[in-house]
Amino acid sequence: MKGIFITMEGPDGSGKSTQIEMLKEFLGKKGYDTVITREPGGTRISENIRGIILNKEFTEMSDMTELLLYTAARAQLVHEVIKPALSSGKAVISDRFIDSTAVYQGIARGLGIDTVYDINAHALAGIMPDVTFHLDLPAEVGISRKKNQAELDRMELCTIDFHKKVAEGYRELARRNPDRIITIDATLPKEDICDIITKKIDELLKQD
Ligand code: TMP
């Protein structure tokens, strides 16, 4: 079996985790051993970096430091989890990946998408998602869903203008990568979203 790398993207509160669980079940039925991971995180080192990045006390963090920390967490995850899993023919589903950095740091923080790709070239080690699902949601809806669930972290505490740039940034990135990024209305019922995702995966598996 050939490895397949699937990423789930979208603004905070867009329902990625629910879809990831549903997709894992679907892939299991297709015979895939599936690894689920998340960014920033997914390894001992990357989870520690996550703790630094999302700590709301670190208000002094520069945008460049933020970009480098996300990238460092990714380098470890690619090296320790994603690359080995794909090489052994597993399916990998990651809750966020490089597109999050392109949107949050490149577009919303204003560092530029090219800077993000330049810095990430080393961390990615040639790995890019086979397909990416973008759960599209208005910024206000996502943040109010999060507020109801738990205490907000350093990123979620950013201004609503920042989160609007994130939501729009994802749409722009999807327009630039129509072959890889599939945009889905995240306000649809979760079963409908799951149907769209599994149909696309079925198509991809048939191509191989
Ligand atoms: P999570 O809440 O979905 O686990 O993600 C953590 C936060 O980090 C979320 O607000 C999105 C943000 N983020 C970035 O700003 N850049 C990145 O590269 C990644 C992976 C996440």
pLDDT tens per residue, range 152-173: 999 999 999 999 999 999 999 9
**What does the pLDDT read at residue 142?**
85
* Residue 208 clears pLDDT 80, i.e. is over it: no
Pocket test for ligand 1, best of 9, 12, 37, 133 (most atoms within 8 A of CB): 12
Confidence of residue 150 (pLDDT cuts 50, 70, 90): confident
The stretch 85-112 carries a mean pLDDT of 98
**What does the pLDDT read at residue 12?**
85
Pocket test for ligand 1, best of 9, 47, 56, 104 (most atoms within 8 A of CB): 104
The stretch 77-85 carries a mean pLDDT of 98
- What would the two tokens of residue 39 be? 């960014």
pLDDT tens per residue, range 4-17: 999 999 998 889 99
* Residue 148 clears pLDDT 80, i.e. is over it: no
**Quick one: what percent of the chain has pLDDT higher than 70?**
100
Burial class (CB in 10 A: 0-12, 13-18, 19+), 41: buried
Of 107, 46, 117, 47, the closest CA to residue 78 belongs to 46
Confidence of residue 189 (pLDDT cuts 50, 70, 90): very high
The stretch 20-41 carries a mean pLDDT of 97
pLDDT tens per residue, range 105-146: 999 999 999 999 999 999 999 999 999 999 999 988 888 888
Second CATH level (architecture) for the domain 4-207: 3-Layer(aba) Sandwich (3.40)
206 Cα: distance to centroid of ligand 1 (angstroms): 32
Q: Which residue's alpha carbon is nearest to atom 12 within ligand 1?
A: 155
* Residue 149 clears pLDDT 80, i.e. is over it: no
Query: Strands across the sheet with 4-9, in order?
Result: 34-38, 91-95, 4-9, 131-136, 181-185
